[in-house]
């Protein structure tokens, strides 16, 4: 989403969702895109999941169907505000991915979608 629409789409969720839905058509639609990352993993309901750079909850709506313990982390207060409204059953943390307030091995699974392109290489901690 690194286009002229980026700032606008972060401000207006309907625009973000429309672009995301359009882009997801290439893999079979939004629901399939939202589940692709863990489709072939062996996971249990006790799996503690971090949705890194969760945005306003686009993927979390699918994550919470599989995992009861999902935490969304994002640096943008507006995105988190929308996420809390869109997916109230998840936990939320406002922080930068580069300095997360969690101890080592706090999560079993880290999920992230459509976010790495926004970071400089080599900046994310790997001690989850």
Binding site for ligand SAM (CB under 6 A): 1, 20, 53-55, 58-59, 74-76, 79, 96-98, 113-115, 118-119
Residue 69 or 94: which CB sits closer to ligand SAM? 94
To ligand SAM, the closest distance from the beta carbon of 108 in angstroms equals 19
For residue 20, give Cα distances in angstroms to 25, 29, 33, 48, 121. 9, 9, 10, 26, 24
Burial zone of 77 (CB within 10 Å; 0-12 exposed, 13-18 middle, 19+ buried): exposed
Lookup result for tokens 């690194």: 2
Q: What are phi and psi of 123, to 5 degrees?
A: -105, -10
CB of 91: closest distance to ligand SAM in angstroms?
15
The nearest distance, CB 56 to ligand SAM, in angstroms, is: 7
1 or 109: whose CB is closer to ligand SAM?
A: 1
**DSSP string covering 13-46:** HHHHHHHHHHHHGGGT-HHHHHHHTTTT----TT
Rounded least distance, CB 26 to ligand SAM, Å? 15
Instruction: Give the residue with the Cβ less far from ligand SAM, 7 or 46.
Output: 7
Q: Which is nearer to ligand SAM, 48 or 76 (CB)?
A: 76
């Amino acid at each position: 989403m690194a286009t002229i629409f980026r700032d606008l789409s972060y401000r207006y969720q309907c625009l973000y969702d429309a672009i995301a839905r359009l882009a997801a058509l290439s893999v079979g639609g939004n629901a399939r895109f939202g589940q692709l990352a863990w489709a072939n993993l062996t996971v249990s309901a006790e799996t503690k999941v971090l949705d890194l750079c969760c945005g306003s909850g686009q993927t979390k709506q699918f994550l919470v169907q599989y995992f009861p313990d999902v935490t969304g982390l994002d640096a943008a207060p507006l995105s988190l505000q929308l996420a809390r409204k869109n997916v109230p059953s998840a936990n939320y943390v406002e922080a930068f991915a580069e300095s997360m307030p969690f101890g080592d091995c706090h999560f079993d699974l880290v999920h992230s979608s459509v976010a790495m392109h926004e970071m400089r290489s080599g900046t994310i901690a790997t001690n989850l």
